[in-house]
């Protein structure tokens, strides 16, 4: 039972990080029908930005609530601007051309950012301890780390904020309209380009928060860190039904839980295959994901 | 139909193919020993990529199925060929063909359930298949696991690589020009319309997938016998993405376009070696720039022969 609870906590914590990244994939897919391969690189560069901000504010030596908050907000803002810049420079010129072109461009942007970061920041950096690291032994073999509590509460706060933005604000309504039908939204006078830019900013800032949490937890960051996390988060988004915001969260939690349970109860060597097996099984039985809407083809 | 055993143009085709293969072996015997091995190596690597890319050109360019798992089929081919040689001591050519066939079987297994999915979901499932294959190989100790399979013969040379490239190129060119080739393109252009004509589109897609996987398997086998060692990381999804980039840059719906693109993209990192640090950045910028400035790819849906003659040759 303690093993079960322990894996439950670990899985939720991992799933929360996946969810924050997966939301960026799913929102961009909703508006542009694009698998934004560069999103994992936004996550990775967010981690590096958090490192530099921590050094600049002195949070790496004397972490205080003010300086660490500044690091978090600064990282999220940096990622938002980065996401908007990518959209403006690389994706907007291709708005009228095929989806395959957009996809190849996204792959190109991802390679550019990864290799650019490698040249500019080096292959590996250690990340300072910015948050208090405590452990609470609840029972024999059941420990809760402060990092898990922080990850889950930050994620929860951001989810509530996102829900408010998407469901209660003018911009959120515009986002849903563009996601529903871009052409119809444009005819209704919605500034589609601005809405898409906002979607990128919103998704990227969540990836920034995820990057901060992941970097603090892992204590080291590298230019390749986005690749695997991004792929898993994307799989999570597809699991839940790509384009659906609650779906991304459900898919991410499901993925996080299944990964930790498989490595906890079975063997950790097959851990990376679990994501894909789960994906294939779910897509075969529910081709548009758990919460995805099935869109019939029209002639 | 009482067609003759072989038409005149088919005969010419076979003669040209035989002559070209003869030419390849003449180069192998006469020129390769005198060439810097570094350059031969680049040309052989171009050849192996050509094989993988032409299979994907059929799947993605002509049938319109977005597969992100092509490197997975290369892995199946490479490890089948490697294992048959290592444990059963088969001749490398037999291993290559067996590798191609096992990749084709993998193509059926992956293709049958997943080709009912459309567009991006298919891409994701094939990506997932690629990931699973890599994890399975990494956990199979008898295949060398994560440490890789080493100690294979270094059999792949210029002659064998380009013999297979010529065979594959000829086979695919003929396939695309045939009635079956039209069906592939019909599925790409409008799947619903094709289905309404009574064509089993899933079957068509699986066929394309299997043929593409076969040539990827051959390419994988050649990779295995190239350095005499293979590692699971060589066939990860970034390799699949690279292959997709080659097809799209060359032009979807063209066979020669992707072949030119894959030659350039394989050789380019070598040309950029003096500025090694920045070569991946330049590569990425080229990819983005090309997509923005020339979205149809190098040749679009045309072939090199169309471009050179400035008009399409009427079918004989």
Q: What are phi and psi of A138, to 5 degrees?
A: -85, -35
Q: How many angstroms away from the CA of B117 is the closest CA of chain A?
A: 7
Residue from A92, A95, A103 to probe the interface with B (highest B Cβ count within 10 Å): A103
Q: How many angstroms away from the CA of A24 is the closest CA of chain B?
A: 17
Q: Is A22's Cβ below 8 Å from some Cβ in B? A: no
Q: A282: which residues sit within 8 A by CB, 6+ positions away?
A: A239, A289, A290
pLDDT of residue B251: 82
pLDDT of residue B118: 64
Q: What is the CA radius of gyration of chain B?
A: 19
Asked if residues B237 and B75 have their Cβ atoms less than 8 Å apart, the reply is: no
pLDDT of residue B313: 47
The arithmetic mean of pLDDT across residues B184-202, rounded, is: 89
pLDDT of residue A294: 65
Which residue's entry shows tokens 């040539």? B215
Q: Is the predicted pLDDT of residue A30 greater than 90, yes or no?
A: no
Residue ranges of the domains in chain B? 16-24+36-236
Tell me the CA distances in angstroms from A63 to A70, A72, A215, B301, one per residue in order: 11, 12, 15, 59
In whole angstroms, what is the distance from residue B308 CA to residue A150 CA? 64
Which of A144-148, A151-155, B233-237 has the weakest average pLDDT? B233-237
Is the confidence metric ipTM above 0.90 for this complex? no
- Where would I find the H helices in chain B? 8-30, 37-56, 70-88, 92-114, 119-139, 158-177, 179-189, 191-196, 201-227, 237-250, 256-271, 279-293, 304-309
CB within 8 Å of chain B, chain A residues 153-192 = none
- Which residue of A97, A119, A279 is in closest CB contact with B281? A119
In whole angstroms, what is the distance from residue A231 CA to residue B212 CA? 25
Tell me the CA distances in angstroms from A222 to A45, A230, B239, one per residue in order: 9, 14, 21
Asked if residues B66 and A100 have their Cβ atoms less than 8 Å apart, the reply is: yes
- Which residue of B135, B252, B291 is in closest CB contact with A105? B291
Does A275 contact B241 at a Cβ distance shorter than 8 Å? no
Asked if residues A165 and A172 have their Cβ atoms less than 8 Å apart, the reply is: yes
Residue from B65, B128, B137 to probe the interface with A (highest A Cβ count within 10 Å): B128
The arithmetic mean of pLDDT across residues A250-261, rounded, is: 93
Q: Is A143's Cβ below 8 Å from some Cβ in B? A: no
Which residue's entry shows tokens 């192996």? B48
Chain B residue nearest residue A272, CA to CA: B135
Q: A109: which residues sit within 8 A by CB, 6+ positions away?
A: A37, A38, A41, A86, A90, B284, B288
Q: Is A280's Cβ below 8 Å from some Cβ in B? A: yes
DSSP H/E element including B33:
none
Chain B residues near residue A95 by CB distance under 8 angstroms: none
pLDDT of residue B4: 60
| The two three-digit tokens of residue A122, written as one number | 């080096």
| pLDDT band of B3, cuts 50, 70, 90 | low
Q: Which residues pair with A145 in a beta bridge?
A: A135
Chain B residue nearest residue A93, CA to CA: B292
Q: What is the mean pLDDT of chain A?
A: 89
The count of residues in chain A is: 299
Does A90 contact B292 at a Cβ distance shorter than 8 Å? yes
| The two three-digit tokens of residue B199, written as one number | 């064509």
pLDDT of residue B267: 83
In whole angstroms, what is the distance from residue B83 CA to residue A264 CA? 32
Question: Chain centroid to CA A1: how far?
Answer: 31
Q: Which residues pair with B92 in a beta bridge?
A: none
In whole angstroms, what is the distance from residue B184 CA to residue A175 CA? 37
Give residue-wise pLDDT tens across range B4-26.
Answer: 666 777 788 888 888 888 888 88
The arithmetic mean of pLDDT across residues A98-120, rounded, is: 88
Residue from B291, B293, B296, B301 to probe the interface with A (highest A Cβ count within 10 Å): B291
| pLDDT band of B315, cuts 50, 70, 90 | very low
Q: B274: which residues sit within 8 A by CB, 6+ positions away?
A: none
Q: How many angstroms away from the CA of A100 is the closest CA of chain B?
A: 8
Q: How many angstroms away from the CA of A131 is the closest CA of chain B?
A: 35
Which of A12-16, A32-36, A268-272 has the weakest average pLDDT? A268-272
Percent of chain B at pLDDT above 70? 93
Chain A residues near residue B248 by CB distance under 8 angstroms: 100-101, 104
pLDDT of residue B310: 55
The arithmetic mean of pLDDT across residues B113-129, rounded, is: 76
pLDDT of residue A198: 96
The arithmetic mean of pLDDT across residues A208-216, rounded, is: 95
Chain A residue nearest residue B279, CA to CA: A115
Question: Chain centroid to CA B240: how far?
Answer: 11
pLDDT of residue B34: 79
Does B114 contact A284 at a Cβ distance shorter than 8 Å? yes
Q: Is the predicted pLDDT of residue B1 greater than 60, yes or no?
A: no
- Which residue of A112, A279, A287 is in closest CB contact with B128? A279
Residue from B117, B131, B187, B202 to probe the interface with A (highest A Cβ count within 10 Å): B131
Q: Is A116's Cβ below 8 Å from some Cβ in B? A: yes
Chain B residues near residue A251 by CB distance under 8 angstroms: none
Chain A residue nearest residue B242, CA to CA: A107
Q: How many cross-chain Cβ pairs, A to B, lie less than 8 Å apart?
A: 113
Give, as one character, the DSSP assignment of residue B230: B
Give residue-wise pLDDT tens across range B23-43.
Answer: 888 888 887 787 888 888 888
Q: Is the predicted pLDDT of residue B314 greater than 60, yes or no?
A: no
Which residue's entry shows tokens 């009427």? B314
Strand-strand pairing, A125-126 and A220-221? antiparallel
Identify each DSSP E strand in chain A by its residue range: 125-126, 135-139, 142-145, 220-221
| The two three-digit tokens of residue B90, written as one number | 């088969």
DSSP H/E element including A86:
helix A65-86
Q: Is the predicted pLDDT of residue A270 greater than 50, yes or no?
A: yes
| pLDDT band of A49, cuts 50, 70, 90 | very high
In whole angstroms, what is the distance from residue B248 CA to residue B241 CA? 11
| The two three-digit tokens of residue A195, written as one number | 């809405």
pLDDT of residue A201: 96
Tell me the CA distances in angstroms from A30 to A83, A123, A299, B165, one per residue in order: 16, 34, 22, 41
Residue ranges of the domains in chain A? 2-128+138-285
Q: How many angstroms away from the CA of A295 is the closest CA of chain B?
A: 11
| pLDDT band of B119, cuts 50, 70, 90 | low
Give, as one character, the DSSP assignment of residue B146: G
- Which residue of B128, B281, B295 is in closest CB contact with A280? B128
pLDDT of residue A169: 95
Q: A83: which residues sit within 8 A by CB, 6+ positions away?
A: A24, A39, A42, A200, A201, A203, A204, A205, A207
Planar angle of CA B247, B249, B253, nearest 5 degrees: 50
- Cβ–Cβ contacts within 10 Å for residue A158, how many? 19
Q: What are phi and psi of B199, to 5 degrees?
A: -95, 135
pLDDT of residue A130: 85
Interface of B with A (CB under 8 A): 66, 113-114, 116-118, 120-121, 123-125, 127-129, 131-132, 135-136, 138-139, 192-193, 237-238, 241, 244-245, 248-249, 252, 277-278, 280-281, 283-285, 287-288, 291-292, 295
- Which residue of B277, B278, B287 is in closest CB contact with A108? B287
Tell me the CA distances in angstroms from A80 to A23, A92, A170, B284, one per residue in order: 14, 16, 19, 22
In whole angstroms, what is the distance from residue A208 CA to residue B108 CA? 41
pLDDT of residue B316: 38
Does A101 contact B139 at a Cβ distance shorter than 8 Å? no
């Amino acid at each position: 039972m303690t093993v079960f609870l322990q894996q439950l906590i670990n899985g939720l914590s991992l799933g929360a990080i996946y969810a924050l990244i997966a939301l960026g994939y799913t929102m961009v897919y909703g508006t542009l029908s694009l698998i934004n391969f560069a999103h994992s690189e936004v996550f990775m560069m967010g981690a590096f930005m958090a490192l530099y901000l921590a050094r600049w504010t002195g949070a790496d030596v004397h972490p205080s609530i003010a300086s660490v908050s500044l690091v978090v907000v600064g990282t999220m803002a940096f990622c938002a601007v980065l996401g908007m810049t990518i959209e403006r420079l690389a994706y907007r010129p291709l708005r009228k051309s095929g989806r395959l072109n957009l996809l190849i461009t996204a792959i190109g942007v991802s390679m550019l950012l990864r290799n650019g970061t490698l040249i500019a920041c080096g292959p590996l950096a250690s990340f300072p301890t910015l948050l208090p690291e405590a452990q609470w032994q609840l029972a024999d073999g059941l420990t809760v780390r402060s990092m898990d509590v922080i990850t889950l509460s930050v994620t929860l706060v951001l989810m509530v904020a996102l829900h408010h933005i998407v469901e209660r604000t003018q911009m959120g309504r515009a986002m849903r309209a563009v996601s529903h039908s871009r052409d119809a939204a444009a005819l209704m006078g919605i500034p589609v380009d601005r809405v898409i830019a906002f979607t990128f900013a919103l998704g990227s800032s969540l990836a920034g928060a995820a990057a901060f949490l992941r970097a603090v937890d892992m204590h080291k960051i590298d230019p390749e860190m986005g690749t695997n996390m991004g792929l898993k988060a994307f799989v999570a988004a597809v699991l839940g039904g790509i384009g659906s915001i609650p779906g991304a969260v459900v898919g991410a939690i499901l993925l996080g839980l299944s990964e930790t349970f498989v490595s906890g109860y079975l063997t950790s060597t097959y851990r990376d295959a679990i994501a894909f097996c789960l994906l294939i099984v779910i897509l075969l039985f529910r081709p548009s994901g758990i919460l995805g809407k099935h869109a019939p083809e029209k002639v | 139909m009482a067609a003759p055993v072989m038409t005149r143009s088919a005969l010419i085709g076979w003669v040209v193919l035989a002559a070209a293969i003869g030419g390849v072996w003449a180069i192998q015997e006469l020129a390769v020993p005198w060439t810097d091995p570094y350059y031969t190596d680049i040309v052989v690597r171009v050849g192996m990529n050509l094989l993988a890319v032409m299979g994907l050109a059929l799947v993605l360019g002509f049938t319109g199925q977005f597969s992100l798992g092509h490197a997975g089929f290369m892995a199946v081919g490479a490890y089948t060929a490697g294992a048959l040689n290592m444990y059963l001591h088969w001749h490398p050519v037999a291993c290559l063909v067996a590798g191609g066939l096992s990749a084709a079987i993998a193509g059926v297994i992956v293709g049958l359930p997943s080709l009912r999915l459309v567009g991006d979901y298919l891409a994701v499932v094939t990506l997932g298949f690629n990931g699973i294959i890599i994890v399975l190989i990494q956990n199979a100790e008898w295949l060398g696991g994560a440490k890789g399979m080493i100690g294979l013969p270094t059999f792949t040379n210029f002659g064998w690589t380009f013999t297979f490239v010529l065979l594959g190129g000829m086979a695919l060119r003929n396939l695309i020009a045939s009635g079956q080739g039209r069906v592939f393109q019909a599925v790409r252009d409008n799947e619903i319309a094709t289905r309404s004509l009574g064509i089993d589109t899933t079957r068509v897609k699986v066929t394309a997938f299997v043929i593409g996987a076969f040539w990827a398997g051959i390419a994988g086998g050649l990779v295995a016998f190239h350095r005499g060692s293979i590692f699971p990381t060589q066939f990860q999804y970034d390799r699949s993405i690279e292959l997709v980039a080659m097809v799209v840059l060359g032009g979807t719906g063209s066979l020669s376009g992707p072949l030119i693109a894959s030659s350039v993209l394989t050789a380019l990192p070598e040309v950029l070696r003096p500025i090694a640090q920045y070569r991946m950045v330049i590569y990425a910028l080229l990819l983005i720039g090309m997509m923005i400035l020339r979205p149809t790819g190098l040749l679009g849906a045309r072939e090199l022969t169309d471009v050179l003659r400035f008009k399409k040759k009427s079918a004989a």
